Structure 1
């Protein structure tokens, strides 16, 4: 069986400088643990980065915010997908890249849980990939809900994971992913 692909979403410099409160301060460390485990095994890795279509965005091409965080940056041999919308499958060739390699399972981590992670996980599940979302290797930011109530990043994160669990993905933590996949 083809090993699962690790999809690391939007670990860019601009995510470090956001002034909004966030959850999971250990997320980058946990992503680093997953990245190191995948590299040790030689398993497929996909680094996904958002490239904005809005001039002035920290994710506009050529801006420092669009660059990968150095400790999570891809090696030359690792696949990079650029996206312009939250869902990494839209207009990116990601599905084709996975299918050509016979990859049936994706493990997703990154930012933000309720945006790019959730959008990508929903599509992965809908496309028939066995999808895992690593809860402690994702994070998000405080957000107002539709009724105008301010929600903490932890509340937003928990609701997003609840939206995914069971229907689109299996939500796990880093230790369980490493244990289940025997790659610790």
Structure 2
């Protein structure tokens, strides 16, 4: 098969942040696991991506132990695991080489955060000529503070600020930005139905 599922940053780092409580889908691993099972049944490659910021001392610093797949996920033997240090999964990794060597031209994207690493990876993949599908309900994100909000704003202050962009709106804007330009937007149910599987 010339298709791959790219699972982006579904890692414990996010759960280690106070902001996790505001995440649009606290059970994102359920949706990701459905996609992983679907990919494996179809014989597609599953590629796991983790975000890493060595030496920063924050939750993305591998030294703290949070840069690992969320515990509900299980990587099978032989499935690539790559570590990126940029927002997209291509620039600082060998992802393109890995896909080229396997003749893969079609990608399905899922992961955290919808508008950041998932969207950025999708845009780069589109520019590289891949046919990309985003399983939008297998992505998650958080509310985004206004550009003028204080950098040290607490979660409570973020949620109380009327200028904050809600997570659902972030996801909706990503759908509009990507659809028809960089990717096809779909859902896990639709992908399962297309494969002839009950949702």
Which of residues 157, 166, 172 in structure 2 aligns to 1:152?
166
1:11-22 aligned at under 5 Å gives the runs 11-20=10-19, 21-22=22-23
Report deviation, 1:98.
0.7
- CA gap 1:70/1:135 in 2 versus in 1, 3 angstroms: same
Residue number in structure 1 paired with 2:50: 49
Residue number in structure 2 paired with 1:105: 106
Residue number in structure 2 paired with 1:5: 4
Distance, in Å, in 2 between the alignment partners of 1:124 and 1:113 is 15
Distance, in Å, in 2 between the alignment partners of 1:23 and 1:97 is 31
Distance, in Å, in 1 between the alignment partners of 2:42 and 2:191 is 14
Residue number in structure 2 paired with 1:121: 122
Which of residues 180, 193, 197 in structure 2 aligns to 1:166?
180
Report deviation, 1:160.
1.6
Query: Secondary structure at 2:66's aligned position in 1?
Result: helix
Residue number in structure 2 paired with 1:91: 92
Which of residues 161, 179, 182 in structure 1 aligns to 2:193?
179
Bigger Rg, which one: 2
Q: Tell me the alpha carbon deviations over residues 54-108 of structure 1, each in whole angstroms, 9 at most, x when there is no partner.
A: 5211111232211111221322311111100110011201111111111110000
Report deviation, 1:9.
0.4
Distance, in Å, in 1 between the alignment partners of 2:92 and 2:172 is 28
Contact 2:14–2:59 under 8 Å retained in 1 = no
TM-score normalised by length of structure 2: 0.85
Query: Secondary structure at 2:134's aligned position in 1?
Result: strand
RMSD of aligned Cα (Å): 1.7
Contact 1:140–1:157 under 8 Å retained in 2 = yes
Q: Tell me the alpha carbon deviations over residues 121-151 of structure 1, each in whole angstroms, 9 at most, x when there is no partner.
A: 0011111101000110000001024465211
1:134-145 aligned at under 5 Å gives the runs 134-145=135-146
Residue number in structure 2 paired with 1:78: 79
Task: Give the number of aligned pairs.
Answer: 183
Contact 1:41–1:183 under 8 Å retained in 2 = no
Contact 1:26–1:137 under 8 Å retained in 2 = no
